[in-house]
Amino acid sequence: MIAVRRFVHYGCTLLCVACAALPVAASALTAVRSAPTAQPVKVAADKARGLQLKRVRFAPLANSVIGEFASNAECGNVTPLYLDQKSSSELTAALAFAFSRNLRELGYLRSTGDDSVFSEAPRKTIEIELGVLVQEIQIAYCRKADGGLEGAVYLKARWELLVPAAQKVVHSAIVEGGVAVQRFPTAVELYRAGADGLVRSFFADPAVVSWLGGEKPLPAAVPVTATETSLRLESAKPPAGGISRDATLLRASVLTIESPGKTGSGFVISRQGYVLTNQHVVGSNRFVKLRLASGRELVGEVLRQNEKRDVALIKTESGLDPLALRNGDLSPGETVYALGSPLGEKFSGSLTRGIVSAYRERNGQRFIQSDVTILSGSSGGPLLDESGRVVGLTQSGVEAGRARINLFVPIADGLKALGIAMPE
């Protein structure tokens, strides 16, 4: 008979088989706690709210024992399994995979990837963000002679539902889930099966379904105060040498913006630390990371957004040199320059030149059309005239066969959409 003893580590209770203090050789895996997977509830797609799995964190389990694995077919040579960087990354990826798959199966709409490639309909707005704090993990598996695995996973987590527009957590729930002993081809599939049990139990909680399925009303969005609406920028002078001589000075006022899963560009418009960018660059994030041309990193808080005009205002530390802004329309044929971070930080500060083609109207909004080159990551960067004054900010490109038509938000229009007055 195998002797066992119970131990507790950071809230994770496991059965330790043949521990060092016991005179019995390790010959079998520890039993993993079981948790029946509840039946998730399907919802009507037209009522389901826009959801996003925003954050996965682990309780203070770092480098703690979360289970064990055996290296031979007889399930001997049992070795402890720790929550290191590799296993935490695999578990996080498994939760994201399970969440994504269940959203489709249960009728919810993902924030990205659900639209037809031929559809121009806007993606569903994110109304609720989900955060997961994994509080307890138990894993045990054995590698069999055929290379496959036999194992089980138990997970316990607290889920939080945040309404980003109101900056308020409206519900939290403790959920258990996992998978009983089964055979899997790889450890990744084992982790995915365990994560799937946790996610499905989460989508079975009646209170969760009432929030995510649109039954409960969302709290009101945080209003913009009159003081914020009347924000006015101080005037700034363009560099004396213009673009040709002072490109380095201009680059110092352009930043790379990093938010989960994407990068973009932005530029300083006030010494008080205000930064302008596109709304689609910051998304529903309240805080983003800003990287200066020098490599220094700052934290920025997203103060205002206008999704229709695709502009956003960020506040960071004061003292950064702002770019000068130009009011009034450009003339077709004028030379313009785009500054930004195409393809991320590696190509930050890229400067490209083109001409103004025309002013265009698209979806009820006015744009500057130009042939200046932009790429993914350039979004939110400034469009400058030859003297170095901002005339617009990069928004998007429209594919036209083998050609690409690039569009920019006129600077005055972008500021007006955020309730900001142009400097005099």
| 385 within 8 A of 336, measured Cβ to Cβ | yes
410: containing domain:
226-417
Q: Among 155, 182, 212, which residue terminates a domain?
A: 212
Domain membership flag for residue 280: yes
Q: Is residue 290 domain-shared with residue 200, that is, in the same domain?
A: no
Among the three residues 212, 237, 258, which one is the final residue of a domain in this structure? 212
Of residues 20 and 378, the one with the higher pLDDT is: 378
Q: Which residue has the tokens 């529903």?
A: 284
Query: What is the structure's pLDDT at 22?
Result: 29
CA 252/CA 295 separation, integer angstroms: 10
Q: Examine the domain organization and report whether 361 and 301 are in the same domain.
A: yes
The model's pLDDT over 247-264, given as tens digits with 9 standing for 90+, comes to 788 888 999 998 776 788
Contact 256, 344 (CB under 8 A): yes
Query: What gap in Å lies between CA 87 and CA 31, rounded to an integer?
Result: 20
Model confidence at 414: pLDDT above 80 = yes
Q: Are 82 and 66 in contact (CB under 8 A)?
A: yes
In this predicted structure, the answer to whether residue 116 has a pLDDT above a threshold of 80 is no
- pLDDT tens digits, 298-324: 888 899 999 889 999 999 888 889 999
3-state secondary structure (DSSP) of residue 271: coil
Residue type, 234: E
Q: How many CB atoms sit inside 10 A of residue 325's CB? A: 21
Nearest residue to 100 (alpha-carbon basis) of 38, 192, 37, 163: 192
Say if residues 68 and 32 touch (Cβ distance below 8 Å).
no
Query: What does the mean pLDDT of the chain come to?
Result: 81
Tell whether 187 and 325 lie within a shared domain.
no
Residues 163 and 62 in one domain: yes
Give the Cα separation of 299 and 317 in Å (integer): 8
| Same-domain check for residues 53 and 196 | yes
Q: How many CB atoms lie within 10 A of CB 200?
A: 20
Q: CA 340, CA 326: separation in Å to the nearest integer?
A: 18
For residue 10, tell me if it sits in a domain.
Answer: no
Q: Which of 319, 298, 320, 299 is nearest to 249 (CA)?
A: 320
In a domain, 272, yes or no: yes
pLDDT confidence band for 119 (50 / 70 / 90): very low
345 part of a folded domain: yes
Handedness of CA 263, 377, 337, 359 (dihedral sign): negative
Euclidean distance between CA atoms 240 and 237, whole angstroms = 8
Does residue 128 sit in the same domain as residue 199?
yes
User: What confidence tier does 363 reach under pLDDT thresholds 50, 70, 90?
Assistant: confident
Task: Let me know if residue 1 belongs to a domain.
Answer: no
> Between these two residues, 195 and 286, which has the higher pLDDT value?
195
Q: What is the CATH number of the domain that holds 85?
A: 3.40.50
Residue 57 has pLDDT above 50, yes or no: yes
What does the radius of gyration of the chain's CA atoms come to, in whole angstroms? 27
pLDDT band at residue 268 using 50, 70 and 90 as cut-offs? very high
In angstroms, rounded to a whole number, what is the distance separating the alpha carbons of residues 380 and 63?
40
pLDDT score at 121: 42
Per-residue confidence (pLDDT) for residue 411, from 0 to 100: 95
Lowest mean pLDDT segment, chosen from 179-188, 225-234, 351-360: 225-234
Least confident of 43-47, 117-121, 159-163, 342-346: 117-121
